[in-house]
Chains A and B, each alone.
Chain A
């Protein structure tokens, strides 16, 4: 069964850091781009970052450039999102996502709350 399981969310103060993880199973992990998409409470979907199969190409939304860093460990079928200098507007449910020409496989998400 194809599955993505996120972890690492929580409550953090503004300016703090968190590292999200996403464990993948059921498909050839190293063949696929992996992405993070977030959704603030009651709001729409926003793409955050993406990383190609061998980790050589990274993409970021303007809103997180310079603060977030995406990486992967293909030996462990895991993708990470290091989030630094967190702001209130980063508060959201963070989904790990993959797919071919579309976002076809989604995890259940991990909640990140940034508040003092």
Chain B
């Protein structure tokens, strides 16, 4: 099953802003949006933003999600060392009748 497309890696400096992208099509991201998850090595993922771009309680206000057409974005401002992690997007695909994930982006904070 086709997944969503994310850049494998992004590197930014401390206190800079990183924007992670997730590209799908009209049947997934373009239909009902994408959610964003963060995963640290050896731990289960944590939901950062749901498909309506809402942050669960406890998630930093430095993170914001948005969507333009078939591309979802996660913007992290004021990068901190603890932001270094893997980030995944996920969406419901109405044509596949399945959930799909992006391949993940490894964010490095320099």
A residues in contact (CB < 8 Å) with B: 35, 37, 44-47, 50, 59-63, 95, 99-104, 106-109
Contacts and interface: CB of A to CB of B under 8 A. Distances in A.
Q: What are the 6 tightest A-B residue pairs by CB atom distance, in nearest-first order?
A: A102-B35, A106-B44, A102-B50, A47-B99, A104-B47, A44-B104
B39 to A, nearest CB: 8
13 contacts: A37-B101, A44-B88, A45-B90, A45-B101, A47-B100, A61-B1, A62-B98, A95-B45, A101-B32, A103-B37, A103-B47, A103-B90, A104-B47
A107 B21 CA distance: 26
A47 B88 CA distance: 12
Contacts, number: 61
Interface residues of B, number: 24
A35 B38 CA distance: 18
B37 to A, nearest CB: 7
Interface in B82-107: 88, 90, 97-104
